[in-house]
């Protein structure tokens, strides 16, 4: 059995990464497993601990990081985010394709450790549309919205570091494109 792929999906806050992923993540043919990150940010309405993230305190995060329990980590708009190491390798050994939904700095750390990682960046059709989507979510105060928009503008200058860039203008089309990319890489890994 070939080892599973390590797939990084990035994209600015509000671009709809989760919505695109939902379209194909349960497809048994793709053998995907979503890596649940650890974060210190506040839970948004509807988010569930252990499903969307492991919500932890700064002390808990720092302890995990300092004990070498994270594959990568970063600080994003005032909060820590990181990928627990445990699970990722075991799942790949079992042939599962593991999806990390992380930002640009984390992707850089992954590329250093796993140059074979399949990296995909999702872009919005325009910055105006991105702003509309972030505001539409109505979950963050204005100051945080501004910081996330600034971060998005900076991140978008670094998309050349990714193997693929996919525009999320139409959710099902973006999902189909990513599905094909994953299928092709699975065939290649055989």
| For ligand 5GP, the closer CB: 84 or 95 | 84
CB of 125 to ligand 5GP, least distance (A): 18
Helices 142-155 and 127-137: crossing angle in degrees, nearest 10, is 150
| For ligand 5GP, the closer CB: 106 or 124 | 106
83, with CB counted inside 10 A (0-12, 13-18, 19+), is buried
CB of 97 to ligand 5GP, least distance (A): 17
Binding interface with ligand 5GP (CB under 6 A): 13, 37, 41, 72, 74, 76, 81-83, 101-103, 105-106
CB of 86 to ligand 5GP, least distance (A): 13
Give percent helix, percent strand, percent coil of the chain, each to the nearest 5: 45, 25, 35
CB of 31 to ligand 5GP, least distance (A): 21
| For ligand 5GP, the closer CB: 37 or 168 | 37
Rounded CA-CA distance 61/55 in Å is 9
SS3 127: helix
């Amino acid at each position: 059995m070939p080892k599973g792929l390590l797939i990084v999906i990035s994209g600015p806050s509000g671009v709809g990464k989760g919505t695109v992923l939902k379209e194909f993540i349960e497809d048994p043919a793709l053998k995907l497993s979503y890596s649940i990150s650890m974060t210190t940010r506040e839970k948004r309405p509807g988010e569930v601990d252990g499903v969307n993230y492991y919500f932890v305190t700064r002390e808990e995060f720092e302890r995990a990081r300092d004990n070498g329990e994270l594959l990568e980590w970063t600080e994003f708009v005032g909060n820590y985010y990181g990928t627990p190491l445990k699970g990722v390798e075991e799942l790949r050994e079992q042939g599962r394709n593991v999806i990390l939904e992380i930002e640009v700095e984390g992707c850089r750390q992954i590329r250093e450790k796993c140059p074979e990682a399949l990296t995909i960046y999702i872009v919005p059709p325009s910055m105006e549309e991105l702003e509309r989507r972030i505001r539409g979510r109505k979950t963050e105060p204005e100051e945080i919205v501004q910081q996330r928009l600034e971060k998005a503008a900076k991140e978008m200058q670094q998309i050349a570091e990714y193997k693929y860039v996919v525009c999320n203008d139409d959710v099902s089309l973006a999902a189909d494109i990513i599905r094909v990319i994953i299928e092709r890489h699975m065939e290649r890994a055989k």
